[in-house]
Amino acid sequence: MKTFDVVVIGAGPGGYVAAIRCAQLGLKTACVDKWQDDTGKAVLGGTCLNVGCIPSKALLESSHHYHNLKHNFAAHGISVTGAKLDLATMQKRRETIIGNLGQGIAGLLRKNKVTSLCGHARLLPQNQVEISLADGTKETLQAKNIIIATGSTPVEIPSAPLNGDTIVDSSGALTFTRVPKRLGIVGAGVIGLELGSVWSRLGSEVVLLEALDTFLPAADQQVAAGLRKSLTAQGLDIRLGARVSGTRKKGKKVTVTYSDAKGEQKLDFDRLVVAVGRRPVTDQLGADEIVLERDQTGRIPVNAQGQSNLPGIYAIGDATAGPMLAHKASEEGVAVAEAIAGQASKIDHDCIPGVIYTHPELAWVGETEESLKAAGTKYRKGSFPYLASGRAQGAGETEGMVKILADSQTDRILGVHIFGAQASELIAEAVTAMEFSASAEDLARTIHAHPTLAETLHEAALAVDGRAIHF
Ligand code: FAD
Ligand code: AMP
């Protein structure tokens, strides 16, 4: 039996990063993933690379270019006639990006001497891992430590069962070969909004049906309202308080039944995307004797070092509590690898940025005004509009704002919320500031290059103390 210091189950952004860090620390490491393509070839990178972050961002970028070409270039004095959409090329580009990055991960695992195996892994007693390989054979590994990085999968609802044709999940919505004329999306969360943006820009009439009455309840409600208004103006029909209760296939279309304040409603769509959240993949993970604790949602509870209830068995990423985000999975992977190697390592779960890659983007870190009020924390706030930024004016990106929330006693930054172009990039400065426990005054006294969008953060920090210069 082959023995390893660490066997990582799952090669998503949690698992493959954990495996590389383990190998860097001198631990003999194997990384197992069951994912195979249609030809039986092993697929690395998990949800994020293959059906998540990367393909969605590729299509968001392409569709944003198309939208700009049709709607925004004329304002710059650039006119184009005969612009056409070639969806096949757009989709090919998405596939090529995934393929290249997948090869990159394989290369990194090789370079770091991580043993990469393709097969379904199952926990056996005494820290053994049984792998059912693609050819039907089984191999058992002996591990000193095991890291579970099995990720998550889309939630399915009985009212809208997937059929791979008219009703699909987020993975299906990334691979449409035709632009649906009418597209319904169940769930107006991050994934629903991003996919809705892609297809709306490419020409679909998009209706989002969201059961909750509140739009993006986890986000700061002032910036969330800005995003909702903007997306509505772009043509996305976002219906809140609309709970989908049934679907019926009608020829090549699907009829969706939902209930809202006015009662039962029906809508016809060419395609329906179910984007109602994701659930952890933690079932069928172990033999009967393995009593791996899971919470009510199926997530594996872990301590500060990422350790489960079983000695030597750790868990990271979407399989554990917290936001289902790739960077959260990766950083937990690094922290667990370092803990196994005997280093003191932990991540700050209060400092994890979240981004919605619509246009404009929404990005935030830390507390919202709502969470501070609920906790009774006294705070000061400073905000600054993109409209007042010279760089935003030059870019034609004047929609949006930055808001900084700081403790009213200590001035320590508690939360930063950015709604606007490049918010996903700008939020990094806020995360760094918060990691270093910066005050709003620290940011206000930091010199920012001119003209940049980052100056909006600088001005918002000045505004916390009522001394913004340009607004
Ligand atoms: P995963 O990436 O899900 O990887 C788990 C791996 O484990 C899989 O490859 C699976 O095959 C393997 N596995 C499971 N069980 C077994 C087993 N028993 N044996 C062997 N292998 C097994 N996050 C962001 O941060 N930014 C984004 O922009 C973003 N966009 C997204 C867009 C979409 C459409 C979706 C669906 C998700 C998006 N996410 C985004 C979320 C992100 O993809 C996940 O948070 C991230 O992939 C979680 O990483 P992970 O390593 O925990 O799990
Ligand atoms: P997220 O968890 O961010 O991916 O968002 C998923 C969204 O789907 C949540 O806001 C849920 O309220 C919503 N949702 C879940 N079930 C339904 C349903 N049957 N009809 C409409 N929306 C739903």
Q: What is the 3-state secondary structure (H, E, C) of the chain?
A: CEEEEEEEECCCCCHHHHHHHHHHCCCCEEEEECCECCCCCECCCHHHHHHCHHHHHHHHHHHHHHHHHHHCHHHHCCCCCCCCCCHHHHHHHHHHHHHHHHHHHHHHHHHCCCEEEEEEEEEECCCEEEEEECCCCEEEEEEEEEEECCCEEECCCCCCCCCCCCEECHHHHCCCCCCCCEEEEECCCHHHHHHHHHHHHCCCEEEEECCCCCCCCCCCHHHHHHHHHHHHHCCCEEECCCEEEEEEEECCEEEEEEEECCEEEEEEECEEEECCCEEECCCCCECCCCCCCCCCCCCCCCCCCCECCCCCEEECHHHCCCCCCHHHHHHHHHHHHHHHCCCCCCCCHHHCCEEECCCCEEEEEECCHHHHHHHCCCEEEEEEEHHHCHHHHHHCCCCEEEEEEEECCCCEEEEEEEEECCHHHHHHHHHHHHHCCCEHHHHHCCCCCCCCCCHHHHHHHHHHCCCCCCC
Structure tokens at 241: 């308080």
471 domain residue, yes or no: no
55 domain residue, yes or no: yes
159 domain residue, yes or no: no
Query: Is there a contact between 456 and 420 (Cβ–Cβ < 8 Å)?
Result: yes
pLDDT at residue 364 in the model = 98
10 in contact with ligand 1, CB cutoff 6 A: yes
pLDDT at residue 134 in the model = 83
Helices 221-233 and 190-201, axial angle in degrees (round to 10): 20
How many Å apart are CA 216 and CA 188, to the nearest integer?
8
Same domain, 88 and 116: yes
Same domain, 20 and 115: yes
Among 276, 278, 279, 325, the mutation site with the greatest number of ligand 2 atoms within 8 A of its Cβ is: 276
> Of 276, 299, 322, which closes a domain?
276
Task: Specify the ligand 1 atom closest to the Cα of 319.
Answer: 52
pLDDT at residue 130 in the model = 97
Catalytic residue among 65, 71, 349, 450: 450
131 domain residue, yes or no: yes
Same domain, 171 and 109: no
8 in contact with ligand 1, CB cutoff 6 A: no
Considering every ligand atom, which ligand is closest to the CA of 187? Answer: 2
Same domain, 148 and 284: yes
Residue 238's region, left for phi above 0, alpha for psi from -120 to 50, else beta, is: beta
**Percent above pLDDT 70 for the chain:** 100
Same domain, 134 and 33: yes
How many Å apart are CA 357 and CA 87, to the nearest integer?
20
**Enclosing domain of residue 247:** 167-276
Same domain, 370 and 320: no
* Per-residue pLDDT of the chain in tens (471 residues, 90 and over written 9): 999 999 999 999 999 999 999 999 999 999 999 999 999 999 999 999 999 999 999 999 999 999 999 999 999 999 999 889 999 999 999 999 999 999 999 999 999 999 999 999 999 999 999 999 988 899 999 999 999 999 999 999 999 999 999 999 999 999 999 999 999 999 999 999 999 999 999 999 999 999 999 999 999 999 999 999 999 999 999 999 999 999 999 899 999 999 999 999 999 999 999 999 999 999 989 888 899 999 999 999 999 999 999 999 999 999 999 999 999 999 999 999 999 999 998 899 999 999 999 999 999 999 999 999 999 999 999 999 999 999 999 999 999 999 999 999 999 999 999 999 999 999 999 999 999 999 999 999 999 999 999 999 999 999 999 999 999
CATH of the domain at 410: 3.30.390.30
Cα of 373 from ligand 1 centre, angstroms: 33
Same domain, 138 and 283: yes
Same domain, 145 and 294: yes
pLDDT at residue 288 in the model = 85
Query: Is there a contact between 314 and 19 (Cβ–Cβ < 8 Å)?
Result: no
pLDDT at residue 26 in the model = 98
Same domain, 398 and 285: no
How many Å apart are CA 406 and CA 384, to the nearest integer?
15
CATH of the domain at 295: 3.50.50.60
> Of 347, 378, 397, which closes a domain?
347
> Of 331, 347, 363, which closes a domain?
347
35 domain residue, yes or no: yes
pTM of the model: 0.97
Cα of 280 from ligand 1 centre, angstroms: 9
447 domain residue, yes or no: yes
162 domain residue, yes or no: no
pLDDT at residue 135 in the model = 85
282 in contact with ligand 1, CB cutoff 6 A: no
Same domain, 322 and 433: no
CA-nearest residue for atom 37, ligand 1, is 52
Same domain, 81 and 126: yes
Q: Could you report the per-residue pLDDT of 376-421, keeping only the tens digit for each?
A: 999 999 999 999 999 999 999 999 999 999 999 999 999 999 999 9
CA-nearest residue for atom 35, ligand 1, is 52
CA-nearest residue for atom 40, ligand 1, is 53
362 domain residue, yes or no: yes
Beta bridge partners, 412, equal: 439
How many C-beta atoms surround the C-beta of residue 283 within 10 A?
10
Cα of 404 from ligand 1 centre, angstroms: 31
Q: Look up 450 and say whether it is catalytic.
A: yes
Query: Is there a contact between 14 and 330 (Cβ–Cβ < 8 Å)?
Result: yes
Cα atoms in the 13 Å half-sphere on the side-chain side of 420: 30
Instruction: Count how many domains the chain has.
Output: 3
Same domain, 252 and 285: no
Considering every ligand atom, which ligand is closest to the CA of 258? Answer: 2
pLDDT at residue 345 in the model = 87
Q: Could you report the per-residue pLDDT of 292-311, keeping only the tens digit for each?
A: 999 999 999 999 999 999 99
Helices 53-71 and 190-201, axial angle in degrees (round to 10): 40
